[in-house]
Chains A and B, each alone.
Chain A
Amino acid sequence: MKARVLVTLKSGILDPQGKAIEGALKSLGVEGVASVRQGKVFDVELAGADANAAKAQLQTACEKLLANTVIENYQIDV
């Protein structure tokens, strides 16, 4: 089973990398960019076939390692 985990900065946390990318897009003439925030994507292959079990496993993975919940939120798509 394939799953995707999205890890993004919580709102209110300053994202200097996102700001730099936002500035670069503006300097490249890409118009209409109001703001950019950078996150991470993890594509995970799981051995089992049960979606609920997979979600539970990935939640454990996020809490233990993939996300730092002080500053990041995560979203699991199975």
Chain B
Amino acid sequence: MKAAVVVFPGSNREGDMARALTLATGRQPAMLWHADHELPAGTDLVVLPGGFSYGDYLRCGAIAGRAAIMDAVRAHAARGGLVLGVCNGFQILCESGLLPGVLMRNANLRFVCRMQHLRVERNDAAFTRHYARGQIIEVCIAHGEGNYEADDATIERLEGEGLVAFRYCDSAGNVGGDANPNGSRNDIAGIYSDGRNVLGLMPHPENLIDPLVGGTDGRALFESLASAA
């Protein structure tokens, strides 16, 4: 598994992401700059990390979504290559057209930073094979704009085609109510592209890989990726 992490001005989770990838794959990811035009030859996985690219100016992820490197990322995805976007990376994927919909301001207008349970909706994607289907995992969230919104037809398509990757839930797996931290439609925490080779999610699995910091429920995502290529 050859991974590459794209760093934009204002990214701040690239170090955590590189650590999680290194731990799972046994090799350090390439670190790419937003102004690069090419991915290193043989790249299997491109990761867009969290942060505040371009200071969240205009809209979260809007300017990063149009950065030079994104043409190479789009071409990689079109070839069936794996792309993972976490938090601001998810916002960038939506703004770049790689995933449908948009992440709006949290419904309660608060930046939410806390532990959060998620339900793994399917475990037959390259990102989730090391989880069980329907498994409840606990990871962390830290965002002000994670309220997933799309038109009704898009939501219907995501649900109908099994493209919802993770849903916010409580520790027992119940969705809705207080278990939804940001007002996301259908409690959506993460979605796949049509080919399920692109995943965007708001929570941070890369921060839950070490018992020292409160849990290891994020590790299986990286182990799944490590065994995918």
Given A64-B66, A65-B62, A66-B58, residue A16 in contact with residue B102 (CB < 8 A): no
Asked if A71 contacts B106 (CB within 8 A), the reply is no
Distance from A27 Cβ to chain B, minimum over Cβ atoms (Å): 15
Kindly list chain B residues whose C-beta atoms are within 8 Å of the C-beta of A71. Answer: 102, 104, 149
A-B contacts at CB below 8 angstroms, number: 36
* Majority secondary structure, B binding face: loop
Select A20's contact among B95, B109, B147, B151, beta carbons within 8 Å: B109
A68 to B59 CA separation, bound complex (whole angstroms): 8
A18 to B30 CA separation, bound complex (whole angstroms): 42
Residue A70 at the B interface, CB < 8 A?
yes
Asked if A16 contacts B109 (CB within 8 A), the reply is yes
Asked if B150 contacts A70 (CB within 8 A), the reply is yes
Interface residues of A in 1-50 (CB under 8 A from B): 13-14, 16-17, 20
Interface residues of A in 36-78 (CB under 8 A from B): 64-66, 68, 70-71
Given A13-B149, A16-B108, A20-B109, residue A70 in contact with residue B102 (CB < 8 A): yes
Select B107's contact among A14, A66, A68, beta carbons within 8 Å: A14
Residue B101 at the A interface, CB < 8 A?
yes
A-B contact pairs, 19 of them (CB 8 A): A14-B104, A14-B149, A14-B183, A16-B107, A16-B108, A16-B109, A16-B147, A17-B109, A20-B109, A65-B58, A65-B62, A65-B63, A68-B95, A68-B102, A70-B100, A70-B101, A71-B102, A71-B104, A71-B149
Q: Which of A13, A16, A20, A64 has the most CB of B within 10 A?
A: A16
Residue B196 at the A interface, CB < 8 A?
no
Closest to B152 in A: A12
Distance from B92 Cβ to chain A, minimum over Cβ atoms (Å): 12
Q: Which of B59, B106, B108 has the most CB of A within 10 A?
A: B59
